[in-house]
Amino acid sequence: MKTGVIIFPGSNCDQDCLDVSERVMGWEAIPCWHRDALPPGLDLVILPGGFSHGDYLRAGAIAARAPVMADVARFAQAGGPVLGICNGFQILCEAGLLPGALRINRDLIFHCEDVWLRVERRDTRFTSACPERIQMPIAHREGNYYADRETLARLEGQGLVLFRYEENPNGSVNDIAGIMSEAGNVCGMMPHPERASEDVLGCTDGRSVFESLALATGVGN
Amino acid sequence: MGSHFEAEVTVMPKPEVADPQGQAIEQALARLALSGTEGVRASHVRVGKVVHLELEAADRASAERALEALADRVLANPNIESFSCSIRDPK
């Protein structure tokens, strides 16, 4: 399994994602600079968390228009799996690869805490190895998911909501913490599975997301 | 040789999208009771942003077209924000 982790100026979870991919999962992990082309032969692209371009204009807005994102869009168009975590989720929405937008939290406060998530679908390539409930940290100020009424009805109707907060920390509509695209190969989530993938980090629930991806890709290690 | 235009894009959260910044400011204004504001209540506070830019373009029409495209594709997120553009003729 060969995964690319995109690095934007201001990304700060890129090393965590590379580390989980390489050391915990045993994959080949390639850092990809935002101005460069996506390397060929990837089985997975991860957009990591952070504050790309200082969150100027809107969180993820400038990164979504980076040169590498045209390649990421083509990769997704061809069915390649893309996982956006936190800022990565914001970037995917800004790039139009996922519907909706992440607004400033309801209470205007940066939330850094562990949350419990309900895994709404356990038959997707992002969640097939997940248990019904998982715990993960969140760390964001713009995690308040919004989609207009029609989009929300479509997300719910088609079962595209993958993760829901048990206790809503940020005001997200329908307690949404993570969604996937209609084609099922692009997933965005505000909680950080890469920060909950080892015993030493206090929680290993997040690893189930990466294990799901490994199962789905069928490449093994 | 093109002309030089000054332009401004105002970006606001859409009416149906909650604006927690506006709500927080509204509450603060109500609490403050500044002298000179007695008997007046501020409501419907919304926070947006203004982007000022200068454009070099062949003519006003192409400057307007470009400004609209920049606002729609970059400066505003149409999922949650609306925008209005204004442009000033070259001095």
Domains and CATH numbers, chain B: 3-88 (3.30.1280.10)
Is A220 a residue whose pLDDT tops 70?
A: no
> Cβ–Cβ of A108/B80 closer than 8 Å?
no
Provide the pLDDT confidence category of residue B1 given band limits of 50, 70 and 90. Answer: low
Is A174 a residue whose pLDDT tops 60?
A: yes
What's the structural domain count of chain A? 1
Residues of B whose CB is below 8 A from A104: 20-21
Residues of A whose CB is below 8 A from B79: 93, 99-101, 146-148
Beta strands in A48-88 (DSSP E): 82-85
Is B91 a residue whose pLDDT tops 90?
A: no
> What ipTM describes this predicted complex?
0.86
CATH number, position A13? 3.40.50.880
Q: What is the four-CA torsion angle of A12, A16, A18, A21, rounded to 10 degrees? A: -150
Q: Is A111 on the interface with B (CB under 8 A)?
A: no
Provide the pLDDT confidence category of residue A219 given band limits of 50, 70 and 90. Answer: low
Mean pLDDT for the stretch of residues A107-118: 97
Q: Which residues of B touch A (CB under 8 A)?
A: 16-18, 20-21, 24, 74-75, 77, 79-80
Residues A91 and B82: their CA atoms lie apart, in Å, by: 19
Helix, strand counts (H, E) of chain A: 5, 11
Question: In one letter, which amino acid is B79?
Answer: N
Mean pLDDT for the stretch of residues B16-38: 91
Closest CA to A113 of A54, A195, A173, A197: A195
Range of the domain at A32: 2-217
Is B54 a residue whose pLDDT tops 90?
A: yes
Residues A141 and A105: their CA atoms lie apart, in Å, by: 6
Residues of B whose CB is below 8 A from A99: 79
Query: Do B83 and B12 form a contact (C-beta atoms < 8 A)?
Result: yes
Which tokens in the block code for residue B86? 């204004």
Measured from the Cβ of residue A65, the count of other Cβ atoms closer than 10 Å reads 16
Is A6 a residue whose pLDDT tops 80?
A: yes
Is A217 a residue whose pLDDT tops 90?
A: no
> Cβ–Cβ of B74/A171 closer than 8 Å?
no
Distant-in-sequence, close-in-space partners of A195: CB < 8 Å, separation ≥ 6: A13, A16, A136, A137, A201, A206
pLDDT at A168: 98
Provide the pLDDT confidence category of residue B2 given band limits of 50, 70 and 90. Answer: confident
Residues of A with a known catalytic role: 86, 192, 194
Residues B62 and B75: their CA atoms lie apart, in Å, by: 18
More confident residue, A219 or A119: A119
Provide the pLDDT confidence category of residue A119 given band limits of 50, 70 and 90. Answer: very high
Residue percentage of chain B with pLDDT more than 90: 81
Strand order in the sheet with A2-7: A28-33, A2-7, A44-47, A82-85, A186-189, A176-180, A161-165, A111-119, A133-140
> Cβ–Cβ of A103/B16 closer than 8 Å?
no
Question: In one letter, which amino acid is A131?
Answer: P
Query: Do A140 and A111 form a contact (C-beta atoms < 8 A)?
Result: yes
